[in-house]
Chain A
């Protein structure tokens, strides 16, 4: 049963990802990306990481993608502005490199499975899905990186304002 659901989600995910890169208009491409994000949330839920699944929907499918769409509409993008020749070459290169990388990944994961990477088999511990466990990790083991993000956000705000504001005439 679980396997069947996984296969359905996986197919939907790949289908959505292909749509993201093949659709011509930027808006539909972004909508396809929202779809992919939701499906990935489903995959998280399937392995029992309910909290991560919820975050995936709220943060990625929700907040981030709304920003994406907002910016696309702000910039008023219509068609990709790449010449035909360029497009052919990059598309060819992309397909070749992408396929090569896919096989590499498949090979690596397969070898790892055959040799028995213990961590790969371990199912997600039931406790991981709870908010309490994640937050206590965040405030104990990962306290420093967690606090560091506040510095990062401050820098991002200052930088964005600096680049966006007009020079005040004196």
Chain B
């Protein structure tokens, strides 16, 4: 007789809504002729908003289901809202871009949404096998999205590189999971932590090896140094809205699962994993920033800058307490809006085919399109961490959490790094405002959907930067029950 487990299907309503939306979009693609790109984008937007509503309905419910493989605590829900926000802005970024490049195919929205499903599962996974499948559901659409522009050679290259590196990383992850299972006899996070702390003989080396392999697996996705080698090529080759999605979604999802692993499953061996994370954080910040200094291509520059931002976020992972986690959530919200904004401007100023994406191409932009130049400067200031923007508050929050836990050197290295980063972010501003115009005909039109994304992002950057109090509260509430 099989015992029927406690299923509690209501905790996956947000995922189910997104999945149904994705399937409807696919069916529209099959059964309708003529113009359907706009209809599909509107369906996607509605699905994302309804799913966001479903997520907010679960707030403070602390439910778990499917034999404890999934939990819907506020921490997971906050991450789900971040993914949905990222997806929403990405859809707005994409509507016009894909028309300009003449690759508008409805499967695009299907892939974006199914990747979001994977991220949502990753954020609420409470068990290693579920986490692995969540990771695969997230990554598989990303491989295809990187190669979505089939006519462009760079896009094909990006897809292939990303796929091979991603498959390799999955191998590490599964290998690590087998070690953890071998050492503890379970894959459930709560039980792993129970088994570890019930042991009397100190740290089991198998556990440590398993953790390191799992960390390597996720490090590929979140692009920590030295697992970042695929980032510049993939970010440059993929269609620009997809690049924006790459730099916000998978990164946030990787941090969601890493936080849960470190806070919950591996909390008893926290002392011996902190040095590993410390080194990763320093490497990721420093290498990302130093290489970004020399970049001439704006997409490549943003790619390396996203590596550096992952490094700042790693600081909060090293801190590993409630303050660290809330700082990371806050930073991820700020990072999402400012990155989307910056990529939005890149899309707006590019021409069909995006042959020229050099930073020098923006020379004298302020004289012709002052509004675009001012908004771009706003995003650059925010990425560099200059007040009164969201980026400043986020960095301040992370560094102060590091100092409060006694990681003075880490905070110092982080601050030095963000000073370095000011150079390459402000170079864009300098080029726009102080160089003479060299390009005669940069044709720019102002499509509505793209403007919505950019204006939303700009408002977000300023709002979070000037009135962070409400955001602090929300972030703090999302940690209830975790510490």
How far apart sit A141 and B126, CA to CA, in the bound complex (Å)? 13
Query: Which listed segment binds A: B133-141, B243-251, B382-390?
Result: B133-141
B interface SS class? helix
Closest chain A residue to B210, Cβ basis = A108
Query: Which listed segment binds A: B177-185, B276-284, B359-367, B407-415?
Result: B177-185
B203-221 CB contact bits vs A (8 Å, 1 = yes)? 0111011000000000000
**Contact A140–B3 (Cβ < 8 Å):** yes
Chain A positions 117-156 with a Cβ under 8 Å from a chain B Cβ: 117-120, 122, 136, 139-145, 148-149, 151-152, 154-156
Does any Cβ of A come within 8 Å of B70's Cβ? yes
**Contact B133–A111 (Cβ < 8 Å):** no
How far apart sit A119 and B195, CA to CA, in the bound complex (Å)? 11
Chain B positions 1-40 with a Cβ under 8 Å from a chain A Cβ: 2-5, 7, 12, 19, 26
**Contact A108–B209 (Cβ < 8 Å):** yes
**Contact B205–A144 (Cβ < 8 Å):** no
Query: Which residues of the other chain, A, contact B463 by a CB distance below 8 angstroms?
Result: none
**Contact A156–B183 (Cβ < 8 Å):** no
Chain A positions 64-116 with a Cβ under 8 Å from a chain B Cβ: 104-105, 107-109, 111-112, 115-116
**Contact A148–B183 (Cβ < 8 Å):** no
Query: For this complex, into which size category does the number of interface residues on chain A fall?
Result: 20 to 34
Query: Which listed segment binds A: B106-114, B262-270, B348-356, B430-438?
Result: B106-114
Q: In the assembled complex, how far is the CB of residue A141 from the closest CB belonging to chain B, in whole angstroms?
A: 5
Contacts A112-B183, A145-B130, A151-B19; is A159 near B143 (CB within 8 Å)?
A: yes
How far apart sit A99 and B473, CA to CA, in the bound complex (Å)? 52
**Contact A143–B7 (Cβ < 8 Å):** yes
Other-chain contact of A112, B140, B148, B181, B204 (Cβ < 8 Å): B204
Query: Which residues of the other chain, A, contact B137 by a CB distance below 8 angstroms?
Result: 148, 151-152, 155
**Contact B144–A152 (Cβ < 8 Å):** no
How far apart sit A140 and B69, CA to CA, in the bound complex (Å)? 11
Does any Cβ of B come within 8 Å of A162's Cβ? yes
Q: In the assembled complex, how far is the CB of residue B466 from the closest CB belonging to chain A, in whole angstroms?
A: 41
How far apart sit A156 and B143, CA to CA, in the bound complex (Å)? 10
Q: In the assembled complex, how far is the CB of residue A63 from the closest CB belonging to chain B, in whole angstroms?
A: 18
Query: For this complex, into which size category does the number of interface residues on chain B fall?
Result: 35 or more
**Contact B19–A158 (Cβ < 8 Å):** no
**Contact A144–B3 (Cβ < 8 Å):** no
Query: Which residues of the other chain, A, contact B148 by a CB distance below 8 angstroms?
Result: 162
Does any Cβ of B come within 8 Å of A1's Cβ? no
**Contact B107–A143 (Cβ < 8 Å):** no
How far apart sit A118 and B114, CA to CA, in the bound complex (Å)? 40
Query: Which residues of the other chain, A, contact B459 by a CB distance below 8 angstroms?
Result: none
Does any Cβ of A come within 8 Å of B201's Cβ? yes
How far apart sit A154 and B26, CA to CA, in the bound complex (Å)? 11
How far apart sit A109 and B205, CA to CA, in the bound complex (Å)? 8
Other-chain contact of B159, A111, A149, A156, A163 (Cβ < 8 Å): A163
Query: Which residues of the other chain, B, contact A142 by a CB distance below 8 angstroms?
Result: 67, 69, 129
A-B contact pairs, 27 of them (CB 8 A): A105-B209, A108-B206, A108-B208, A112-B205, A116-B201, A117-B206, A119-B181, A119-B184, A140-B3, A140-B4, A140-B67, A141-B69, A144-B67, A144-B69, A145-B129, A145-B133, A148-B130, A148-B137, A152-B136, A155-B111, A155-B140, A159-B111, A159-B140, A159-B143, A159-B144, A162-B107, A167-B150
* A-binding residues in B (CB < 8 A): 2-5, 7, 12, 19, 26, 65-67, 69-70, 105, 107, 110-111, 114, 117, 121, 127, 129-130, 133-134, 136-137, 140-141, 143-144, 147-148, 150, 159, 181-185, 201-202, 204-206, 208-209
